[in-house]
Amino acid sequence: MVHSMQTPSEADLGVSAVLDAFLSLNKSEQEAVRAKVKTAIDPSLSDEQRREAERAIRAALQKARERRSGVRRLSIEERLSAPQRSRREEMAQEEAQFAERLSRLMAERQLTQAELARRTGIGQSAVSMLLSRRCRPQPRTLGKMAHALGVPVEDLWPGKVGPGPSGEGVA
């Protein structure tokens, strides 16, 4: 019988790095990570609660890796100037308000993502991404959505110029 030596896969190396980082934590940090892991896999909690737990786990393990390597990486937020951070926060607020308004209007009209997508001529996945704030709508898409929902563009995104019936002319 011949046995071949296999090199560790990338996934194995990733797991090894995670375990090394975890083991380098002190006892209280390990307990905190264990608690967050329980939260992250608890199906009774909301997706947002589980995502927050996952972010906390990644942050704790990243800090452990930085301590071990003596290197600290700057977060995106730390690299931005004050005006850039302010604009980023403003954009995040705009996206949140848009997603809330779109969700409310869809619920009021009893529209599914698939139906809104059909009426606007965009993919259902694009509607999902807009609702979950993973992308920002293009002006033309805003116009099409407003038209499909029977509202002015301002009802979806205040400050935007209203389109014609085909979604043209949005600023």
Same domain assignment for residues 93 and 139? yes
* Count of structural domains within the chain: 2
Is 59 within the bounds of a domain?
Answer: yes
Same domain assignment for residues 64 and 120? no
CA angle 21, 27, 77 (to 5 degrees): 50
Is 164 within the bounds of a domain?
Answer: no
- 142: CATH: 1.10.260.40
For residue 64, the model assigns a pLDDT of 79
Contact assessment for residue 168 and residue 139, using Cβ atoms and an 8 Å cutoff = no
Question: Does residue 160 register a pLDDT over 70?
Answer: no
Least confident of 10-24, 99-113, 120-134, 157-171: 157-171
Instruction: Please list, residue by residue across 15-54, b when 16 or more beta carbons sit within 10 angstroms of its beta carbon and e when fewer do.
Output: eeeeeebbeebeeeeeeebeebeebbeeeeeeeeebeebe
Give the domain extent around 150.
89-156
Query: What pLDDT digit, counting tens, does each position of 35-76 carry?
Result: 989 988 988 988 888 888 888 888 888 887 777 666 555 566
Query: What pLDDT digit, counting tens, does each position of 108-119 carry?
Result: 999 999 999 999
Task: State pTM to two decimals.
Answer: 0.50
Is 168 within the bounds of a domain?
Answer: no
Question: Does residue 168 register a pLDDT over 50?
Answer: no
Is 150 within the bounds of a domain?
Answer: yes
Is 103 within the bounds of a domain?
Answer: yes
Q: With cut-offs at 50, 70 and 90, classify the pLDDT of residue 128.
A: very high
For residue 47, the model assigns a pLDDT of 86
Is 5 within the bounds of a domain?
Answer: no
Could you tell me what percent of the chain has a pLDDT over 70?
A: 78
Which range of 2-11, 105-114, 135-144 scores highest in mean pLDDT? It is: 105-114
Same domain assignment for residues 56 and 102? no
Phi then psi dihedrals of residue 37, to 5 deg: -65, -45
Same domain assignment for residues 93 and 142? yes
Taking CB atoms within 8 Å and a gap of at least 24, the contacts of 101-106 are: 101/155, 101/156, 101/157, 102/130, 102/131, 102/145, 102/156, 103/131, 105/149, 105/151, 105/155, 105/156, 106/149
Same domain assignment for residues 64 and 93? no
Query: What pLDDT digit, counting tens, does each position of 79-106 carry?
Result: 778 888 788 788 888 888 999 999 999 9
Question: Does residue 10 register a pLDDT over 70?
Answer: no
Is 25 within the bounds of a domain?
Answer: yes
> What are the CA-CA distances from residue 23 to residues 30, 37, 64, 98, 105 (Å)?
8, 15, 9, 43, 49
Is 161 within the bounds of a domain?
Answer: no
Same domain assignment for residues 95 and 43? no
Same domain assignment for residues 141 and 96? yes
For residue 169, the model assigns a pLDDT of 43
**Crossing angle of helices 124-131 and 113-120, rounded to 10°:** 120
For residue 63, the model assigns a pLDDT of 81
